[in-house]
Chain A
């Protein structure tokens, strides 16, 4: 292939998909700028702005690591949203509040186990709603009380599954055959009710949960936050488990069939209602664990953390292509990186806006997602 051939093909691409060309160009520029910054090269441009600049390798790798952490959260929560979106055919706006449900119920259990005998039961079970034993006194951390953290993960999954299935029975089941929009509106109602039931029970205070004593250790010369490490291990193993479930089991096959073509699945004799329940069970469990892990990493809890995550989760799911769990995971990483690494170029009050902007652009110009429109898991 000679050079002129490449140039002609490039010209065709630019003419046919100018926006794609612009996106590629912008990405290339940013990558060059990033390299220049890492190398410490600074080229002055007009208006006091410079190309390149100062960026230490430590700060960059820190941002990338943060991107991986939040990306895993977005991806883990996004799997459930993506499955309900493709199997039940509606955008579930109450998914973020399932994340919050998992966070509160899981941490209630974890604090109860870790702080048994230290604070009173109500204080622990409601995740420190008022004054009482402090997080460091309770000592809920992976170093001090690994068992409590593990029990918390399991309770977070179980409780969220129960809540998700109950909501499905009460709210969505009676309107199963209605279009996507009535279900979407109903899910906004379910989201409001669930979020403020959580606020009613657990209180509206933003409070610390985890103990931070001895959480930062050194493994093989690297400074590692054990909570972040736990998050990465749990999230990746759950993602792998999802992968094997979908590819190797009968249920997984049935779910993929339903996501692909509901009528065909029904004709083939797949018990669709049972598959729907399984979808809520799996999606709810992953959402609950995602919320729990998110709190493990950030250390504080509030009744609307899930709602604030919802648009990011949507962004991840849309970016990866609705219905594809691998897309949701990959989309989660992309959104996570955008959210963190964009801080190099823009002030910190715009990084969320940047992530949403990418979501909007993908929806507008590539609604099947950036990984090529695989609608089956």
Chain B
């Protein structure tokens, strides 16, 4: 592999370390610095883009809040998927389905019984969140018990099928108004279900909220402040999940998981009941996917089955693969890079380009865009490109996925060996070796 990354340790034994190398080694020193500097780089990019597009500090602030919201949402899901795929080698492509189970269970438990669409029991939110996680874990259990002995590609098809079954069930009109005696369990069908409000929203109506609006209100709109409060909660959850997974990964339990990923037969030969380990880890990951779904799709006041199409699973997979499966830090970096460069970046860029170039109205069809090329007019084609940026974004996503799988399947940070032992086993020396490959 000849690819050189910015955070590689190429500057250590170089003869004259340039500024870039020094920066790279400094950033690469701790995982926290890697995540933060990636995030700051994306923020800087978007602030520059916003001001280029003629935005003010309010729009810059709201774009940063939106980015952070998505970082956190994808971060939790990617961490959960990393537990399945990166740590244990379980190829689960039903993430969206487990998210849906979490969100809908939360909704049915916590939405008030007299909601406009869908019906719930109206229990406290925390009960709903816990119920959602438990339910996602239980659905994971039901799927895991028979499916985990399957080959990886069969497991992929089973989980994808399961997530589609879940989505179709939630979408069905039959269950939309389901009631048992006085208790409503309606999913709302295709028209979706109303959700309880974010708990942080109530905070703004208190004395603390008034102070907050007074202090920050001079340069930020109240709606931005309200969203940023929720984003802070999500960041807290990301840190908690990250901490939990690092603990799990470094525990004896995590060592078995890595052993299963590398060679399940060896783990079995050592007397580990690998099936039970896989079931437990599958349930834990599913519960975290449910949590991720609740924090993300469950925090917007309303959700419909359309939010859980298989494409969401693929997004999470792309984020994980970019970051490098097997690495928790890589999962976070991958989420940030995915959201910033692949998900939000193209749209923002297209807005700026079409805003600054005055391309005129875009042609409605590809033929209408291509015809003027005969007379060497490129503007309609460019306008068509900018108008269809969402399609181009998916094409970019697919191309990036293929290129990563061909050129760098280990992702940005996947090359880092995460030692299973609690203490470092590296020999002291100037150059760090990459454990797995050095004994060839």
Q: Which residues of A contact B (CB under 8 A)?
A: 90-91, 120-123, 125-126, 129-130, 170-171, 174-175, 178, 180-182, 184-186, 188-197, 199-204, 311, 314-315, 318, 347, 349-350, 352-353, 356-357, 359-360, 363-365, 367
Nearest CB of A to B377, in Å: 15
Contact flag A185-B405 (CB < 8 Å), given A191-B398, A311-B161, A356-B165: yes
Among B151, B172, B391, which residue has its beta carbon within 8 angstroms of that of A196?
A: B391
| Contact (Cβ within 8 A) B398 A190 | yes
Q: Is B361 an interface residue (CB 8 A)?
A: no
CB interface residues, B 179-234, toward A, < 8 Å: none
Can you list 21 contacts pairing A with B, beta carbon distance less than 8 Å? A122-B368, A122-B371, A123-B365, A130-B364, A130-B368, A180-B152, A184-B153, A188-B398, A189-B399, A192-B394, A192-B398, A196-B398, A197-B391, A200-B366, A311-B161, A349-B171, A349-B172, A352-B168, A363-B154, A363-B157, A367-B150
| Contact (Cβ within 8 A) B156 A91 | yes
Complex Cα distance A3/B153, Å?
44
Complex Cα distance A363/B169, Å?
21
Nearest CB of A to B373, in Å: 12
Q: Is B173 an interface residue (CB 8 A)?
A: yes
Among B161, B173, B395, B397, which residue has its beta carbon within 8 angstroms of that of A200?
A: B395
Count A-B contacts at CB 8 Å.
151
Nearest CB of B to A29, in Å: 22
Nearest CB of A to B119, in Å: 19
Among A180, A189, A311, A315, which residue has its beta carbon within 8 angstroms of that of B398?
A: A189
Chain B positions within 8 Å of A178 at CB level = 409
The 7 A-B pairs at the shortest CB distance, nearest first, are namely A122-B367, A189-B401, A193-B398, A192-B398, A196-B394, A349-B172, A189-B402
Complex Cα distance A201/B369, Å?
10
* Nearest CB in chain B to that of A186: its residue: B405
| Contact (Cβ within 8 A) B394 A363 | no
Complex Cα distance A73/B399, Å?
29
| Contact (Cβ within 8 A) B150 A363 | yes
Complex Cα distance A162/B358, Å?
38
Contact string against A for B residues 96-130, beta-carbon threshold 8 Å, 1 for contact and 0 otherwise: 00000000000000000000000000000000000
* Nearest CB in chain B to that of A124: its residue: B367
Complex Cα distance A126/B169, Å?
35
If A122-B370, A353-B164 are given as contacts, then 17 extra A-B residue pairs at C-beta distance below 8 Å, sorted by A number, are: A91-B153, A91-B157, A126-B365, A181-B156, A182-B409, A185-B401, A186-B405, A192-B397, A194-B398, A196-B392, A197-B395, A204-B391, A315-B161, A350-B172, A360-B162, A360-B165, A367-B154
Chain A positions within 8 Å of B172 at CB level = 347, 349-350
Chain B positions within 8 Å of A192 at CB level = 314, 394-395, 397-398, 401
| Contact (Cβ within 8 A) A186 B406 | yes
Contact flag A350-B174 (CB < 8 Å), given A122-B371, A192-B398: yes
Contact flag A353-B165 (CB < 8 Å), given A189-B398, A190-B398: yes
Complex Cα distance A295/B437, Å?
52
A90, A193, A352, A367 interface centre (most CB from chain B within 10 Å): A193
Complex Cα distance A367/B150, Å?
9
Q: Is B91 an interface residue (CB 8 A)?
A: yes
| Contact (Cβ within 8 A) B162 A126 | no
| Contact (Cβ within 8 A) A190 B392 | no
* Nearest CB in chain B to that of A126: its residue: B367
* Nearest CB in chain B to that of A192: its residue: B398
| Contact (Cβ within 8 A) B401 A200 | no
Complex Cα distance A315/B172, Å?
21
| Contact (Cβ within 8 A) A129 B365 | yes
* Nearest CB in chain B to that of A199: its residue: B391
Q: Is B65 an interface residue (CB 8 A)?
A: no
Chain B positions within 8 Å of A364 at CB level = 146-147, 150, 158
Chain A positions within 8 Å of B160 at CB level = 311
Q: Is B388 an interface residue (CB 8 A)?
A: yes
| Contact (Cβ within 8 A) B161 A356 | yes
Chain B positions within 8 Å of A196 at CB level = 391-392, 394-395, 398
Chain A positions within 8 Å of B366 at CB level = 122, 126, 129, 200-203
Chain A positions within 8 Å of B409 at CB level = 178, 182
Complex Cα distance A10/B164, Å?
36
Chain A positions within 8 Å of B151 at CB level = 367
Nearest CB of A to B271, in Å: 27
| Contact (Cβ within 8 A) A130 B157 | no
Contact flag A129-B367 (CB < 8 Å), given A349-B174, A350-B169, A353-B168: yes
Complex Cα distance A229/B131, Å?
52
Complex Cα distance A314/B146, Å?
19
Complex Cα distance A197/B399, Å?
11
| Contact (Cβ within 8 A) A181 B314 | no
Complex Cα distance A364/B145, Å?
10
Complex Cα distance A338/B399, Å?
36
* Nearest CB in chain B to that of A352: its residue: B168
Chain A positions within 8 Å of B154 at CB level = 363, 367
Chain B positions within 8 Å of A314 at CB level = 157, 161
Chain B positions within 8 Å of A199 at CB level = 388, 391, 394
Contact string against A for B residues 381-393, beta-carbon threshold 8 Å, 1 for contact and 0 otherwise: 0000000100110
Nearest CB of B to A219, in Å: 37
* Nearest CB in chain A to that of B393: its residue: A196
Among B152, B367, B402, which residue has its beta carbon within 8 angstroms of that of A190?
A: B402
Q: Is B400 an interface residue (CB 8 A)?
A: yes
Complex Cα distance A365/B154, Å?
12
* Nearest CB in chain A to that of B365: its residue: A129
Among B158, B168, B406, which residue has its beta carbon within 8 angstroms of that of A363?
A: B158
| Contact (Cβ within 8 A) A182 B153 | no
Q: Is B308 an interface residue (CB 8 A)?
A: no
Q: Is B317 an interface residue (CB 8 A)?
A: yes
Contact flag A130-B168 (CB < 8 Å), given A186-B405, A360-B162: no
Complex Cα distance A315/B152, Å?
17
Chain B positions within 8 Å of A171 at CB level = 402, 406
Chain A positions within 8 Å of B368 at CB level = 122, 130
Complex Cα distance A174/B403, Å?
11
Q: Is B321 an interface residue (CB 8 A)?
A: yes
| Contact (Cβ within 8 A) B169 A353 | yes
Complex Cα distance A356/B164, Å?
8
Nearest CB of B to A318, in Å: 7
Among B174, B388, B394, B405, which residue has its beta carbon within 8 angstroms of that of A347?
A: B174
* Nearest CB in chain B to that of A194: its residue: B398
Among B91, B157, B364, which residue has its beta carbon within 8 angstroms of that of A181?
A: B91
Contact string against A for B residues 351-372, beta-carbon threshold 8 Å, 1 for contact and 0 otherwise: 0000000000000111110110
* Nearest CB in chain A to that of B155: its residue: A363
* Nearest CB in chain B to that of A120: its residue: B367
| Contact (Cβ within 8 A) A125 B168 | no
B151, B321, B398 interface centre (most CB from chain A within 10 Å): B398
Nearest CB of B to A5, in Å: 33
| Contact (Cβ within 8 A) B405 A350 | no
| Contact (Cβ within 8 A) B365 A130 | yes
| Contact (Cβ within 8 A) B153 A180 | yes
Among B146, B171, B371, B400, which residue has its beta carbon within 8 angstroms of that of A189?
A: B400
B91, B321, B401 interface centre (most CB from chain A within 10 Å): B401
| Contact (Cβ within 8 A) A193 B399 | yes
Nearest CB of A to B389, in Å: 10
